Amino acid sequence: MFNSLTEKLQNVFDKLSRRGKLAEADVDAGLREVRLALLEADVHFSVVKSFLDRVRVRAVGAEVSKALNPAQQVIKIVHEELIATLGEPGKLNLRGPQPRVILFLGLQGSGKTTVAAKLAAKLRAQGERVMLIAADTYRPAAIQQLQTLGQQIDVPVFTAEERPVELCAEGVRVAERQGKTVVIVDTAGRLQSDSMMMSEMLAIREKVNPVETLLVADAMTGQESVRVAEAFHKQIGLTGLILTKMDGDARGGAAISMRSVTGVPIKFLGVGEKTDALEVFDPGRVASRILGMGDVLGLIERAETMDKEKAQRAAERLVSGEFTLEDFMTQLREVRKMGPVGQLLGMIPGLSGPKNQIDEQAAEQQIKRIEAIINSMTPKERRRPDILNASRKRRIAAGSGTQVYDINQLIKQFKDIQKLMKQMGNKRGLGLPRFR
């Protein structure tokens, strides 16, 4: 979501790097452009002013003037001050008597129900006994939506024919009888200006005594999400924020402004539709993404979703020269579990800036084309592509909706990889690291 801001910041840093030694005037000119880029990205003006004041004090001092590479030193300062602006990550509070209650609130359409299920899945994977309470009795099908999500992640959902306040109180009592350790309450979306709905939220909070009161805010709404967070915090008292749609096409300023303006820590980021697409907020990683430095930790975390035994077997077969199109298809599916190709490349340092952005749609189409080609082959053809003659290729092309040229290209690339990896294995006695 930071593509536009990242591109503008990188242009500023490119100009600074061409200057060599930086004078105070060069720094000021660069920071003026940074200021415009941040304001255009919807960062709150007070946050921009404070941020740039801190950067300038450091950037015109000895820290930069005595540096071997002044431009890189400025980037380092911007990165560090961006982390400071984003604030320390807020850890989820799971202390106190069980069940610990986590109360979700926010505007309608912010993604509360989906995020409630994502957090439930995350906590369940950590060994917690979780129950969801469907307390949104106003939105049509809200309860059914949470029940469907609960079935997908194997977490029970409590609901009843009662008003929201009594429903939540009864749900917590049921969770206590059943020995649950965490209860997540999904409440109805409400405007901060609706006094009746805000009074209801206060009553729910009084009844369930939550250890966490989390506002779920849509990061794509920019400055408005900051104002909403301020109002909810003033009226209800928030302990944390969850920003959703961080994978969307937006200017991203809300993520930078939210902590500074509200004083409330960001705890999680929603980065996709799947039930595992919820990241613990890490200011260093977000700052690196904004500046186009990638996110290696995020890539590693996604890689952990892959089947390690399959990956190890495939690596051994690849080096030994026994790697087949069948193995290739298996690994392609494992990689796709990690997320969209463009998103994965964006996490790799050096490939993460807008200048290096690949056409994600074209990449996804290419992967689908490869899958269709391999799926149209017989098991024997996948294991021994050397038997593919002209008539077999025409049949595969017809079955996959591709051209014979596409099949020839895939086979050539596959054989080149096989040949290269076999040579590496023979010449270097390549040792494969075991997955832990």
Q: Residues 86-139: pLDDT tens digits? A: 888 788 999 888 999 999 998 888 889 999 999 999 999 999 999 999 998 888
Mean pLDDT, range 390-416, rounded to an integer: 89
DSSP 8-state assignment for residue 211: S
Q: Residue 297: is its pLDDT beyond 70?
A: no
Q: Which residues contact 241 (CB under 8 A, 6 or more apart)?
A: 214, 215, 217, 229, 258, 259, 262, 264, 265, 266, 267
Going from the N-terminus, what domains does the chain have, and what CATH number goes with each? 3-86 (1.20.120.140), 100-292 (3.40.50.300), 308-428 (1.10.260.30)
Mean pLDDT, range 48-74, rounded to an integer: 79
Element spanning 169, H or E: helix 164-177
- CB-CB neighbours of 375 under 10 Å: 12
Contact 22, 71 (CB under 8 A): yes
The per-residue pLDDT for 356 is: 47
Mean pLDDT, range 147-172, rounded to an integer: 92
Q: Residue 149: is its pLDDT beyond 50?
A: yes
Instruction: Pick the closest to residue 10 from 71, 93, 51 (CA basis).
Output: 71
Q: Which residues contact 314 (CB under 8 A, 6 or more apart)?
A: 323, 327, 330, 331
Q: Residue 40: is its pLDDT beyond 60?
A: yes
User: Residues 334-360: pLDDT tens digits?
Assistant: 766 666 665 555 554 444 444 444 455
Number of residues assigned to the chain:
436
The per-residue pLDDT for 18 is: 77
The per-residue pLDDT for 294 is: 52
pTM given for the model: 0.67
Contacts for 15-18 with beta carbons within 8 Å, 24 or more apart?
16/70, 16/71, 16/74, 17/71, 17/72
Distance CA 301, CA 334 (A): 14
The per-residue pLDDT for 352 is: 46
In this predicted model, which residue has the larger pLDDT, 35 or 20? 35
Q: Which of 32-46, 169-183, 291-305, 398-412 has the highest mean pLDDT?
A: 169-183
